[in-house]
Each structure stands twice: as structure tokens, then as C-alpha cells.
Amino acid sequence: MLRVTFTLKEEDCIGCEKCAEVCPVMAIDFDEEKDKAYFLDKDNCIICRQCMDVCPTGAVFIEGALGQEDIRMG
Amino acid sequence: MLKDTIDMQTDVLVIGSGIAGVRAAIEAKRSGLDVLLVDKSLLGRASCSIYAGGIIHPKIPEHMERMGFQVPNRLGLPIEKLMRKFLEEGVALGWGHPFLEDQRLMMTIAVELPVRNEELRDFGVKDPYLQHYLGRPGLWGKDILLPMIDCMTDLGVNTLEKVMITDLVRRNDAVVGAVGFGIDSDAFYKIRAKAVVLASGGGAQVYSRTYSPRRITGDGFGLAYRAGARLWEMELIGWENWFCVEPKCPKWWIAYSHGRMRGNLVNKDGEAFFEKYARKLNCLGENATLSPDDPMDKRYGRPIIELVHYFARASAAEISNGKGDNGAVLVDLRKVPEDLFTIESAGLFALNMFRNHDWKRRPVHIAPAAEKSCGGIHINERCESSLGGLFAGGEVSSGSSMPYCLVTGALAGRFASKYAYENELKPFSKVEDAFCADKKKQLEHLTGRRPSKQGDPIDTKAKLGQIMMEHAGVLKTREGLLKGLKLIEEIKEEKLPALYAPTRRKLREALEVVNMVTYSEMIIKSSLYREESRGLHQRVDFPQQDNKNWLKNVLIEKNAKGMSLFDVPVELVWEKPAN
């Protein structure tokens, strides 16, 4: 099984809500009191990487998942 | 909250930023008009289009051919044959409700599709054809939609992100604008427009099992209904069989990878059951090998994409016959070599999804899930709705595949522009201003209401999803539908009046709930109305397709008493069914 790690660096999060906004499955949510995003349910992440795309400060990381670079032409 | 009122005006207002909305905005801008595009989330990012599997597949990567995979070569067909295929399979609208579509619209799509497809290169899309196989894992539509959005903004289309349109403003029989609120700002928006294009997507989120992104809540259906526009075919929901329900895995679609295609669909006893149903449904291809060693399209003799809803029906029937395991069937991938998953992005996507599940040892639980809305705002071949100045394109207008959304987006933009050139932009009258003020008051009322357990929008969404899944799922019965309707009435009476929204994000959730309840009611009422089974609409108590009595469209309109339903015969202008 794959070992996928999810990281959201709280100190880099500027509270723009963009990652929570684009997540299609609510794997990331936004804590309005703390004004920070957080992983609500990592298991439900489909690794679409939209959160990484839109984060202006690079605070969100998903590592260990298979990506385009892993494609082997058959 | 909502301190400021911002008055805006534009020639064409587009609501929604999926492929249909963006294409409509580009079309209208190219006509030389002022265009404003509004989305309740970030541009394109909350749409279905960004997750969709590309446009159409006229050619396939060399390595797939070598492995014996078939991909339907639709673009190679002459226009008439392509159109007939659309009608027979409902391909353009979402696979499988034969002969219900507007044939003039289908012909328009068949004629325009090759041009619209090729034209994507002008918008900066590198290769309009190969997205499905060589795009990024999980985000295949991205390489189409994001360049189009850049192109749209370069052309000078004005955009508003995170502004939710809550109602359309009507003057006599025409739509003349819209009102909404800002999710990141304290503003209430009053927008005047000569023409409005609705392209806000479908509403599959009304089902608890769905893999539409979570902002796809049927807002366009609610907007159009409240404004008095006609809607049609709301009983048609696209179902997808290959939806993972393993507890520690994402609840999402398992993509069409080589690996998955070599798997076996079995019930709790390990018996392959699809063949049994396929024979009964008469959907196997002539050259079906029925050998478990072949990939599924060879095994069943047809491109797998054409069998989607048959799989969902077979699985739903097997589960309701007590042969399911915990309300799911199983896909057995144990004998599939891992290599088969790693040669294309769809396979990598599947492996990422199974990261917490040992698929080499245990089969994967799957169950049919709602994929898309195949009914919507009633439009003609010019994408005009039943109200003047209101045009609709994409999933909100009754179709749901990327080809459909792309072509209807362009059509809606083109005819909205024509309408805008022919009509003047007048100030709002006193009545219209009063309507806007009333809508603003309603929003403030929601934000001012005290929180209660009854009125929690997220809780209500979850409850609605369960009701719809249980009572208006793949296989419907009169009894179940009536029970579902009763439960929805209860939500309307008990939960909607208590809805509250302490923040603007919650306000969006609350208004989505209102639209979802309206849409759910439409699905159930039109499912009760159509007393036959046809493609995606399956009634257990009326199992036959009845071409004699039901070559009709079921329409919905708001009248003084509430939701009224009626039917009109389908105009068979080009093709008639064989029997």
C-alpha cells in the first residue's frame, strides 16, 4: 500500500480559505475561529492536488502519492 | 453583514464557471458585448468540468490499442449517424434515456461538436482529444478548463469570484437581472443585464452517494424554478456503478484504468452477476467473449462507456435482491498485476484511492452513486428557456457530458448576445427594486436567526442525501417515492423555516439547502409522473420502456399552488425509435 503523507503548515497558512474552497470532498476544511485551514478527513482525499495548486504560500503538501511522473508507457 | 449594496450592469450575465459558462462568456465577449461572469466559488475550481474526463476520444494512445482496448470513435461518424447514436444512447445527455432529447438540439450538437472541439486549441488547450488518458491524475478536465478561463479573462470578460446569485429578477415574461451576495465581502449585489446565461451545473449532491464536487447543489434549478422558468426530465439522474465505498478509502469514482477493467464484478458469494442481467437487458455486444481473462470491453463486446448505466442497474438489483455485502457489491482485483495500473493516469488515480485498502488481498466494495443530473431547464436548440432573456447551457439545461456542455455553452452565449443586441438595458422599476430589497431582507433574516439543532444546514444536507439515496435511487418504486416525498415535506416544514447562517460561508450552505430541497422534490415528483422505465429512469413497478404512451417529456413549472407537472410529446423530427 502507498504511504501518502499530508502536511498543512499552520505557520504558513494565511487563512485565505482557497484550499478548503476547492476541495471537492471536504478532506480540507476551514476553521473560522482559528482562521486556518486544516485536514478534516485525510482518508477521503482523492489527491486531485487542487489545494496545492491554489495555495498562495505553498503551505499544503501531499507527498508519496503517485503522480504523472510515475506513468510507465506499456 | 451585507452592509453595502453594489449596483452593477452588464450586457450579458453568465452564472457559473464550468466549461459551459466559460464558453458562453467567451462567445458573448467575442460578439463585442460587456460580459460579467459570476461564480459562487473560485473560477472553474468548484465545477464538475475540472474533474471531467476530457471531451471525446476519436483516437487513442498507441499503447492502449496494443492492449486491445476499444474507445468509441464518435468523431469519425457521419453527422447523421452521430446524431442517431446520441438519440439511441442518450450519449450527449449522459448515457441512456433513449429518444427523450430535443432532436433539433441533438442535431445542432452533432453538427457543431467537431468545430467546437477543434476550436479549443484557439483557447490555449494543448490537445483537446487526449485528456482522458494522459492528463493529470484525477483532474483531467483541468487542462481544458484552466486555459479557457485564462483566455476568457484575456478577452476582457469581467469576473466575480465567490459571489452567490440567490435569485433572478423578472420583468413580465423576461429575466432582466439577478441578485446575490458576496462570500468574501459584506456586499449585496444587484446586477442588471440584458440577457442572463445560467450555466451553474447540476445537483447530484442531493444524493449522499455521489462524486460530484460538493458545490454542485442544483442552484440553477432553484433559481430558474423560482423565477418561473420551465424545467424538464428531472427524473433522469446519471448513475455510476464504480464508486468506492470502502471505509478508509475516498468515496469517489474508480477510474477506467487497464487494471480496473481486468477486474471482476462479483456479489457477496463471489459470483459474477453482470452477465445474467446483461442478457436480460440485452446490452451485450455481438463479439462479447464473456471470458474473465479479457478486459471488460472485450468481455462484454462493447466500449465500457456505453455500458455504464447497465452496470449500475445490475448492481442495484443484486443489492436489493440480498446478494450485496453491506449494501455494496465487490470488484475483485486480486488477480490483476499492479503493472496494469501504472501505465496511465487513471490507474495511478485508482492506486492512490486504494492507498488504505489491500486490494491485492481483498476485493473492493463498490455501490452505484449519483454522477450527474440529466434533466434541467427546458431549452430549445438556441438554448432559450421559457423566459425571455434567460438562456441555459451545460448540465443545468439537461445534458451532462463535456461535448454537450461545450456546445450548449457556445450556443447559449451566441443567442444571449443576439438577444442583448435586440434589447435595451433599462433601470429597475419600483416593483423590481422592491423585489431586490425583499431578497436582501430574507438574507439578513437568515444571518440574524439564532442557531438551533433543527436549522443546521450541513445536517439538513446529510439528511436529505440519505432520503434521496434510499427512496429515489437507481431502482424506484411508487411506494418508496411517496415515502421520500413525505420526508422531504417534513424537511420543508420543520428544517427550512429554522435555517440559520451565522457567517457568509454558512449562508451559502443554507441557500444551497433550499435549492437542494427544491431539486429533490422535482426528482421525486417527476419520477412518480413517468410511469415507465427508460434508460436512466427505472421504475420497478413499471419495468418496460413504453414508446406508445411515454415518448413524452415531463415538464415542471411553478404555479400559484406550487410545483405543477405536465407532459408534452417529444417531437420526432429526425428519427423515430424502431418499435
Q: In chain A, what residues touch B214 (CB-CB under 8 Å)?
A: 23-26
**Which pLDDT belongs to residue B85?**
76
Cα separation values, B433 from B169, B427, B429, Å: 9, 9, 6
Asked whether B28 and B416 are in contact (CB, 8 A), the reply is yes
Asked whether B257 and B338 are in contact (CB, 8 A), the reply is no
| Triad B172, B177, B179: Cα angle to 5° | 120
Beta-carbon contacts of residue B85 (< 8 Å; ≥ 6 apart): B74, B77, B91
Q: Span B441-454, mean pLDDT?
A: 93
Rounded Cα–Cα distance for residues B360 and A2 (Å):
13
Asked whether B266 and B329 are in contact (CB, 8 A), the reply is yes
pLDDT at B402 over 70: yes
Amino acid at B503: T
The CA distance from A3 to the nearest CA of chain B, in Å, is 7
Amino acid at B69: F
Complete DSSP assignment for B212-239: S-TT-S-HHHHHHHHHT--EE-TT-EEE
Q: Please state the separation of Cα B419 from the chain's center in Å.
A: 26
Instruction: Tell me, letter by letter, the H, E, C secondary structure of B146-173.
Output: HHHHHHHHHHCCEEECCEEEEEEEEECC
What single-letter DSSP state applies at residue B286? T
The CA distance from A59 to the nearest CA of chain B, in Å, is 19
pLDDT at B143 over 70: yes
* Environment class of B428 (CB within 10 Å of its CB; exposed 0-12, middle 13-18, buried 19+): middle
Asked if A4 lies within 8 A of B353 by C-beta distance, the reply is no
The half-sphere exposure of B404 on its side-chain side, counting CA atoms within 13 A, is: 31
The CA distance from A31 to the nearest CA of chain B, in Å, is 12
Question: Domain B437-569: which CATH class?
Answer: mainly alpha
Lowest mean per-residue pLDDT among B148-157, B169-178, B225-234, B336-345: B336-345
Q: In chain A, what residues touch B509 (CB-CB under 8 Å)?
A: none
A/B interface, count of CB pairs below 8 Å: 101
Rounded Cα–Cα distance for residues B501 and B509 (Å):
8
Asked whether B221 and B369 are in contact (CB, 8 A), the reply is no
Q: In chain A, what residues touch B42 (CB-CB under 8 Å)?
A: 18, 21-22, 54
* Residue that the C-alpha cell 457489491 belongs to: B329
Minimal CA–CA distance to B45: which of A69, A63, A55?
A55
Alpha helix segments (H runs only) across B388-451: 402-422, 430-448
Q: Which of A18, A25, A66 sits opposite B351 (nearest CB)?
A: A66
Beta bridge partners of B92: none
Q: Please state the separation of Cα B372 from the chain's center in Å.
A: 3
| Triad B125, B130, B131: Cα angle to 5° | 65
**Which pLDDT belongs to residue A69?**
79
Give per-residue pLDDT as tens, A43-60.
999 999 999 999 999 999
Asked if B137 lies within 8 A of A68 by C-beta distance, the reply is yes
Asked if B343 lies within 8 A of A49 by C-beta distance, the reply is no
Q: Span B79-104, mean pLDDT?
A: 73
Q: Which of B250, B352, B503 sits opposite A66 (nearest CB)?
A: B352
Same fold, B243-370 and B437-569: no
Angle between helical axes of B308-318 and B274-281 (0-180°, round to 10): 120
Rounded Cα–Cα distance for residues B147 and B128 (Å):
11
Rounded Cα–Cα distance for residues B175 and B455 (Å):
31
Asked if B349 lies within 8 A of A22 by C-beta distance, the reply is no
Q: What is the mean pLDDT of chain B?
A: 90
Asked if A1 lies within 8 A of B349 by C-beta distance, the reply is no
**Which pLDDT belongs to residue A1?**
80
Q: Which of A44, A68, A73 sits opposite B343 (nearest CB)?
A: A73
Alpha helix segments (H runs only) across B319-429: 345-353, 402-422
* Residue that the C-alpha cell 462570500 belongs to: B183
Asked whether B143 and B120 are in contact (CB, 8 A), the reply is no
Give per-residue pLDDT as tens, B515-539.
999 999 999 999 999 999 988 899 9
Asked whether B364 and B254 are in contact (CB, 8 A), the reply is yes
pLDDT at B60 over 80: no
The model's confidence at residue B134, banded by pLDDT at 50, 70 and 90, is very low
**Which pLDDT belongs to residue B70?**
62
Asked whether B31 and B410 are in contact (CB, 8 A), the reply is no
Phi, psi of B332 (to 5 degrees): -95, 110
Q: In chain B, what residues touch A71 (CB-CB under 8 Å)?
A: 342-345, 348
Rounded Cα–Cα distance for residues B540 and B227 (Å):
34
SS3 at position B447: helix
Minimal CA–CA distance to B407: which of B83, B61, B47, B65?
B83
Is the CB of A18 inside 8 Å of chain B's CB atoms? yes
Q: Span B506-522, mean pLDDT?
A: 97
Lowest mean per-residue pLDDT among A45-54, B47-56, B471-480, B489-498: B47-56
Minimal CA–CA distance to B237: which of B534, B489, B479, B12?
B534
Rounded Cα–Cα distance for residues B6 and B186 (Å):
10
Nearest chain B residue to A27 by CA distance is B250
Strands B390-392 and B187-198: parallel
More confident residue, B67 or B329: B329
Supply B378's cell numbers: 427546458
Residue A56 is inside which H or E element, if any? none
Rounded Cα–Cα distance for residues B465 and B444 (Å):
27
Mutant choice from B139, B146, B208 vs A, greatest count of A C-beta within 10 A: B139
The CATH number of the structural domain formed by B4-236+373-430 is 3.50.50.60
Mutant choice from A5, A50, A73 vs B, greatest count of B C-beta within 10 A: A50
**Which pLDDT belongs to residue B193?**
98
Q: Which of A2, A21, A71 sits opposite B355 (nearest CB)?
A: A2
Residue A62 is inside which H or E element, if any? strand A60-63
pLDDT at B3 over 60: yes
Nearest chain A residue to B210 by CA distance is A25
Fold of B243-370: Flavocytochrome C3; Chain A, domain 1 (3.90.700)
The model's confidence at residue B328, banded by pLDDT at 50, 70 and 90, is very high
Rounded Cα–Cα distance for residues B576 and B579 (Å):
8
Asked whether B309 and B372 are in contact (CB, 8 A), the reply is no
Give per-residue pLDDT as tens, B254-312.
988 888 889 999 999 999 999 999 999 888 989 999 999 888 888 998 877 778 889 99
The model's confidence at residue B129, banded by pLDDT at 50, 70 and 90, is low
* Environment class of B294 (CB within 10 Å of its CB; exposed 0-12, middle 13-18, buried 19+): middle
Supply B80's cell numbers: 447523421
| pLDDT above 90 as % of chain B | 71
Interface of A with B in 47-66 (CB under 8 A): 47-50, 54, 65-66
Q: In chain A, what residues touch B49 (CB-CB under 8 Å)?
A: none
Minimal CA–CA distance to B47: which of B415, B474, B402?
B402
Interface of A with B in 25-44 (CB under 8 A): 25-27, 30, 32, 43-44
Asked if B250 lies within 8 A of A2 by C-beta distance, the reply is no
The CA distance from A26 to the nearest CA of chain B, in Å, is 8
Nearest chain A residue to B347 by CA distance is A71
Domain range annotation of chain B: 4-236+373-430, 243-370, 437-569
Asked if A24 lies within 8 A of B214 by C-beta distance, the reply is yes
pLDDT at B137 over 50: no
Give per-residue pLDDT as tens, B331-346.
999 999 999 888 877 8
**Which pLDDT belongs to residue B174?**
97
* Residue that the C-alpha cell 499544503 belongs to: A60
CB atoms within 10 A of CB B391: 32
The model's confidence at residue B327, banded by pLDDT at 50, 70 and 90, is very high
The dihedral built from the CA positions of residue B371, B375, B376 and B379, taken in this order, carries a sign that is: positive
SS3 at position B62: helix
